[in-house]
Amino acid sequence: MALICPRVHLLQRSTPRHHNLNHRCPHKYLNLLPIASSPSPSTIAAAVALNSKERRRRRGAACVVGVVTAMANLDKTTVLVTGAGGRTGKLVYEKLKERSAQFIGRGLVRTPESKEQIGGADEVFIGDIRSTDSLLPAIQGIDALIILTSAVPKMKPGSDPTKGRPEFYFEDGAYPEQVDWIGQKNQIDAAKAAGVKQIVLVGSMGGTNPNHPLNNLGNGNILIWKRKAEQYLADSGLPYTIIRAGGLQDKDGGVRELIVGKDDELLQTETRTIARADVAEVCIQALQIEEAKFKAFDLASKPEGTGTPTKDFKALFSQVTTRF
C-alpha cells in the first residue's frame, strides 16, 4: 500500500493523491498512514501524541545518561597542569589522562603549537601566566592545580660550550621575575579565588644559596624568584605541596628509590638527581595522600639498581616534617 504524509495530504487537497513518495514527514509515525483514505483528525492527533511520547522518551534517556555521567565525574578530581607543554609538565598531564577513573586532566600551554604537541584536546587551554585574566578559563571548576611553569634561559648566539662556559640570556618578558614570581603568584591568586583545594608546586633545589650558579644564568636570579613564589604559596592558606626537584633526567620512572630532604642537604651528597617521570609521579601522588599537604621538601633518587624502588608514597611523604 502506498504511504503519504497526512500533513501534506490535508494541506494540498486539490492536488492528486499521487503524493511524492520520496517525501518523509518529520512526524515519523504519520508516514505509516495509507494514501487510500484521508486520516481523521483523531487519527492525526493520536499519531502526533505517539511521536511526542517517543521524543520525550528519548530526551529522558539522554537526560539519564547525562546525569549518570555527571554523577560519575563528581567522584573525580579535576586537575590543571600549567606548563603542560614542558618535558615534565607533559608527563604529569599524560599520567592524569591515563588515570581517567580518578582524574579529569586539564593542561595550560603558551602556544597553539604546544597544544598540538600534547594532543590538541579541548581540555588543553592556551594562556599567559603573566596575565590573570588569561588563566581564568582554565582554572574555573578545577579541584587542584599543579604548577610546572618556569623561565627558560637560552644560549647566546655564538657561544661555544667547547671553549668555556657558554653565556645565556632570557627573552624580553620571560625573565624569572616575570615567570617564576609574577606568573606563579598570578596562578596562586587565581586558584585561591576559584576555590581550588590544593596546589602542587614544582621548584628546584639550590634556593637556599643566593650565589648558586643557576642564579647567574642571564643574570636572572631564577632560584631567588622561585623561592619567593614558594614562600607566597606557603603563606596563602591553601593546602600545598612544594617539591624542590634535583637535577632532572629524561629517564624511565618507577625504578629507583626516592629520597626526600630539606634545605638543600641533598646537594652535598651523590644523590642529587631525579628522573622527570618520578617527579611527575610524586605530583600525582601528592594529590591523593593527606601526608603530602602543607609540606615542602627536596626530592632526588638513588642510582638505578641500588635501594628499593619507591612504591609506598604515604611513607615517603611521612618522612617530611618541614612546612617550608
* Catalytic center residues: 204
* Maximum separation of any 2 CA atoms in the chain, in Å: 99
Contact of 298 with 260, CB cutoff 8 Å: yes
Count Cβ atoms below 10 Å from residue 303 Cβ, excluding itself: 11
Q: Are strands 103-109 and 77-82 parallel, antiparallel or unpaired?
A: parallel
Count Cβ atoms below 10 Å from residue 295 Cβ, excluding itself: 23
Residue 162 in grid coordinates: 667547547
227 phi and psi angles, rounded to 5 deg: -65, -35
One DSSP character per residue, 225-264 reads HHHHHHHHHHTSSS-EEEEEE-EEE---SSSS-EEEESTT
Query: Mind spelling out the 3-state secondary structure of 45-79?
Result: HHHHHHHHHHHHHHHHHHHHHHHHHHHHHHCCEEE
Residues 6+ positions from 219 with CB-CB distance below 8 Å: none
